[in-house]
Amino acid sequence: MAVFSSPDFDQHEKVVFCCDPDTGLRAVIAIHNTNLGPALGGCRMYPYISDDLALSDALRLSRAMTYKSALANLPLGGGKSVIIADPAKDKSAALFREMGRFVESLAGNYIAAQDSGTSVQDLQHIAAETRHVAGTQQAVDDCGKTRSGDPSPATAYGVFVGIKAAVKHCFNRSDLDGVKVAIQGVGNVGFRVARRLHNEGVRLVVSDVNEASLLRAVNEFGAQAVECDSIHSQDVDVFAPCALGGAVNDTTIDAIRARIIAGSANNQLASVGLGQVLHSRGILYAPDFVINAGGIIHVHYMRSQRPWQESVQHVEEIGLTLGEIFQRAEDADKTPEAIADRIAEERFKPSLAADIRFAV
């Protein structure tokens, strides 16, 4: 398993391989950049079919977290951890406590948070061995309602705000009534996105590998269910990838009919060049590391014990950020992700100049 020669290696500061035969723990922790602060990122649990795929995921996701935090104006760097295991059958308190010991060994350079395949309870086991964990505590908001450390609601809200910004830029309308959206994946985040869109009068098309989740969306929102391998090709206004990454790839891109791609999934583009293809075809892409930043914003505010309403207001700024990125991309005839990358890099790379006017 090559690290430095991996196509996903991007001058990462540290990559740690974690193994404990007694608990069955096999994991990778990747720290991409800590110039703005400690590397905060989710701890993912997934049964990768190879170690190389696990490493690739950790490298790509940690890099994305650096850009995500920079664009969200958070004092954080980018990191990610992946546990190579099946969350449906391989979880144990001992395994997560061992993971906590590895996190502790990094002396605060990496802060673990919830991610796909892990829960707040899992993080609490990690927290038994280290204080470098975020999202395990509860907080009471300004209305007296108890909020958990689960970042899914905030992520979903940010995606909803981002979809509204994309619709406004693309179709010059502020409402969503009658807009048609295809959501790939209606799990923790996707279902919440669907609910908010449904409440705004959006017509929904959904797919999910989990039959129960799919039926729930159909029953509660009147959504149209389609097969997973056809969700990207639906005749809709917005395609919202809310499952795993790579939804836009060499196989699916030619069949996409939506004018907008905006969802919660990380690494929605399977390769960098696909962004230019979308741009050339007049398809507006909301960079995933911008639109799905609600979760990291929520976790940061919970960890800092800041007022709940401040967190909500910060998440709402995702729409303003995307609006600026879309307009600058249009004016410069650049892809939105190129503009977003440049803005982020000028925040976390001290060597770059402060002028962000289309210098891409």
Q: Give the CATH number of the domain where residue 30 resides.
A: 3.40.50.10860
Band (pLDDT 50/70/90 cuts) for residue 116 is confident
Band (pLDDT 50/70/90 cuts) for residue 359 is very low
Phi-psi bin for 309: left (phi > 0), alpha (psi -120 to 50), beta? alpha
Band (pLDDT 50/70/90 cuts) for residue 7 is confident
Do residue 252 and residue 172 come from a single domain?
A: yes
If one counts the domains in the chain, the total is 2
Do residue 330 and residue 202 come from a single domain?
A: yes
Comparing 2-11, 14-23, 311-320, the range with the smallest average pLDDT is 2-11
> What span, in angstroms and rounded, lies between the C-alpha atoms of 1 and 142?
49
Do residue 122 and residue 211 come from a single domain?
A: no
Bridge-based pairing of strands 224-225 and 238-241 is unpaired
Band (pLDDT 50/70/90 cuts) for residue 267 is confident
Residues 200-222 pLDDT 10s: 999 999 999 999 999 999 999 99
Average pLDDT of the segment spanning 18-35: 98
Do residue 209 and residue 330 come from a single domain?
A: yes
Comparing 72-76, 114-118, 258-262, 353-357, the range with the smallest average pLDDT is 353-357
Do residue 336 and residue 213 come from a single domain?
A: yes
Which residues span the domain enclosing 257?
Answer: 152-293+323-343
For 188-232, give the secondary structure using H, E and C.
HHHHHHHHHHHHCCCEEEEECCCHHHHHHHHHHHCCEECCHHHHH
> What span, in angstroms and rounded, lies between the C-alpha atoms of 59 and 51?
12
Q: Residue 360 pLDDT > 50, yes or no?
A: no
Average pLDDT of the segment spanning 57-72: 94
Band (pLDDT 50/70/90 cuts) for residue 323 is very high
The answer to whether the beta carbons of residues 173 and 196 sit under 8 Å apart is: no
Q: Does the residue 300 lie in any domain?
A: no
Do residue 272 and residue 218 come from a single domain?
A: yes
Do residue 205 and residue 80 come from a single domain?
A: no
Average pLDDT of the segment spanning 93-111: 98
Phi-psi bin for 79: left (phi > 0), alpha (psi -120 to 50), beta? beta
Q: What is the mean pLDDT of the chain?
A: 92
pTM above 0.95, yes or no: no
Q: Does the residue 88 lie in any domain?
A: yes
Band (pLDDT 50/70/90 cuts) for residue 145 is low
Q: Residue 148 pLDDT > 80, yes or no?
A: no
Residues 312-339: b if buried by 16+ CB within 10 A, e if exposed: bebbeebbebbbebbebbeeeebbbbbb
Q: Does the residue 6 lie in any domain?
A: no
Q: Give the CATH number of the domain where residue 227 resides.
A: 3.40.50.720
DSSP 18-81: EEETTTTEEEEEEEEE-SSSSEEEEEEEE--SSHHHHHHHHHHHHHHHHHHHHHTT-S-EEEEE
> What pLDDT, on a 0 to 100 scale, did the predictor assign at position 150?
74
Instruction: Tabulate helix, strand, coil % of the chain (nearest 5).
Output: 45, 20, 40
pLDDT higher for 237 or 135? Answer: 237
Q: Residue 86 pLDDT > 90, yes or no?
A: yes
Q: Does the residue 113 lie in any domain?
A: yes
Active centre residues (catalytic): 80
> What pLDDT, on a 0 to 100 scale, did the predictor assign at position 352?
56
Average pLDDT of the segment spanning 157-174: 97
Band (pLDDT 50/70/90 cuts) for residue 13 is very high
Q: Does the residue 283 lie in any domain?
A: yes
The DSSP call for residue 109 is: S
Q: Residue 151 pLDDT > 90, yes or no?
A: no
Do residue 206 and residue 233 come from a single domain?
A: yes
Do residue 62 and residue 123 come from a single domain?
A: yes
Do residue 171 and residue 245 come from a single domain?
A: yes
Q: Does the residue 286 lie in any domain?
A: yes
> What pLDDT, on a 0 to 100 scale, did the predictor assign at position 208?
96
